[in-house]
Chains A and B, each alone.
Chain A
């Protein structure tokens, strides 16, 4: 569903129509693609470590789904409401680049190898600012319980309280889920497709699914942490509010994808260490002075 929205928006930006053929307004195009990909023969790779290669991607997808389950969609709709919910979410998310690394490394392709190295380099540059922003959120809401975080935002959304934090979090999240301009791992003009170069069609279909679910997951997370989750004026139910907020975030990410050029790996590292980390430290200090001290 989100895949269709993304395709339509990018098509609009490029003066095209986008999918129109399968279903009403082409809404089933992605499902048709999946069916086609699943019906193709799979490749046997000589150089691949078959166990690692075969398991990394399914683990990656289950991580993403698991993260969505940890998020509170509605007070009564959350798999488990534990005290350190937010920290748990990020512990789980931190596994994603490592799984990409394993998958790329195991496939035995040189392009996938380069892509795997890049994923670890990226991990170094954006994981620290992400964690610092989360620490600031923890400071304001006095704990990492996700439901509590949403409840604390009933007066003012955190995007108002710490705009710098939102800015850093958004950029770092884009990098985390490999959206452009940080899509270095599957940089098509350099590395053909990076870590998915040698994937079989069925696996590639899973990668497509993974891509969309990662965007969905991260935009849900951003709207929960910064835009007040299900909070909103009464007549519309909270779930709808959350979905609307998430879709707005996702659309912004798609527009960024349609218009920016890809950054280079050393520039991303420099940006991570010289801009994002100092900024997130400043954010943390400001938050401490304003809301705690």
Chain B
């Protein structure tokens, strides 16, 4: 049969944003795929060079609009490192709690979109979205905003947690835990889901390391790498949690590893609440002139919901001289050209969905 070249996107229901894929298909099988990116390029890295240090977090948050705080925090941590500022003990705990809530919200969104990619009529999406809203409610209480928080300040946060936050958070987390169990039953009892996901789009550990993918995608291939464990930051080494590893590396493990991670995050938040010290968590107020930078170059590595985020900051006096962002989504996207070969048309989007890309972060 002859090869047809079809153009998928830039506007397509399941490319998760504006991405264009040029696919050569032979009947129903994909021969070659070529992603075209850059439709959302804003030049964020260059923009940061024209602004004061603490004017930049809002830009960082717009990178990954499903997990804004992870990026905001990574940037602020890089600035803190450059200025030699110590983060207050309680602020560290609060940051960990909020970041894990952010991770749960992002993974819930993933659970919803995977249903759409497999052609389910938005039911799973609406359920997951409803639960994500509950997590966002918590974040709103803690930071004052639902989507873009901008709550990180040098050495701490903009505000401490509200007084009854712990109780409400624990209630919501219990609810989410129950719902996660329900999703697991709903999804994994479904024979169509299993046959659509198992043994499809297999990424071997060697290839995964070669491609440089990180986060759940890497851990689903059986590689033990989690920045929270391997290069612990804040109080992650004091808190009890496991890094979940699955070995098969197919679509199903990529879904499952996220589900398990949500459970671990819930456990982590609960232990964090127990061991959290009292004290002060408020960071420095944002002023026009920042404190002088101590060492010139700082590199910060963080485990965002999608993978490893790195901020490479060359500090100038009052603004970054150069900020380079390692985007986990961009590097996870490179896996699709490798994975797509030989897949069926319908499985391409399931595979793309399990990589869980956010185009705002890919294009920067």
Contact = CB atoms under 8 A, between A and B. Distances in A.
Contacts of A190: 14, 119, 345-346, 348-349
A189 B119 CA distance: 6
Interface string A101-112: 000000000110
Given A264-B344, A266-B28, A15 B126 contact: yes
Contacts of B126: 14-16
Contacts, number: 80
Nearest to B12: A192
Interface string A189-204: 1111000000000000
A267 interface: yes
A191 B346 CA distance: 9
Interface in B105-126: 115-123, 126
Interface stretch (B142-150, B190-198, B326-334): B190-198
A188 interface: yes
B122 A261 contact: no
A191 B12 CA distance: 9
A189 B350 CA distance: 9
Contact of B346 (A14, A15, A192, A265): A265
Contacts of B196: 261, 263-264
A188 B346 CA distance: 10
A16 B130 CA distance: 10
Interface string A154-171: 000000000000000000
A267 B127 CA distance: 27
Nearest to B25: A114
Contacts of A129: none
A261 B123 contact: no
Contacts of A180: 119-121
A263 B192 CA distance: 6
A188 B13 CA distance: 7
Interface in B2-57: 4, 6, 12-14, 25, 28
Contact of A187 (B193, B346, B347): B346
Interface string B328-356: 00000000000000001111110000000
A258 interface: yes
A13 B14 CA distance: 22
A113 B4 CA distance: 11
A154 to B, nearest CB: 38
Contact of B344 (A192, A260, A262, A266): A266
A187 B119 CA distance: 7
A265 to B, nearest CB: 6
B195 A267 contact: yes
Given A15-B130, A261-B190, A261-B192, A183 B119 contact: yes
Contacts of B120: 180, 259-262
Question: Which of the four size classes fits the interface of chain A?
Answer: 20 to 34
Interface in B126-181: 126-127, 130
Contacts of A183: 119
Contacts of A260: 120, 190, 192
B212 to A, nearest CB: 28
A118 to B, nearest CB: 8
Interface in A240-293: 257-267
Nearest to A183: B119
B119 A114 contact: no
A261 B115 CA distance: 7
Contacts of B6: 110-111, 114
Contact of A261 (B14, B28, B130, B193): B193
A192 B195 CA distance: 23
B344 A14 contact: no
A258 B119 contact: no
Contact of B119 (A14, A261, A266): A261
A200 B116 CA distance: 25
Contacts of A114: 6, 25, 28, 345
Contacts of A10: 121, 123
A191 B119 CA distance: 11
Contacts of B13: 188-189, 192
Contacts of A16: 126
B119 A188 contact: yes
Nearest to B348: A190
Given A188-B13, A189-B13, A189-B14, A264 B123 contact: no
Contacts of B344: 264-266
Contacts of A258: 121, 123
Given A188-B119, A190-B348, A261-B119, 7 more contacts: A15-B126, A114-B25, A183-B119, A184-B346, A187-B119, A190-B349, A262-B120
22 contacts: A10-B121, A10-B123, A14-B122, A14-B126, A15-B126, A15-B130, A110-B6, A114-B25, A187-B346, A188-B13, A189-B14, A189-B118, A190-B346, A192-B12, A261-B119, A262-B120, A262-B192, A262-B346, A263-B192, A264-B344, A264-B347, A266-B344
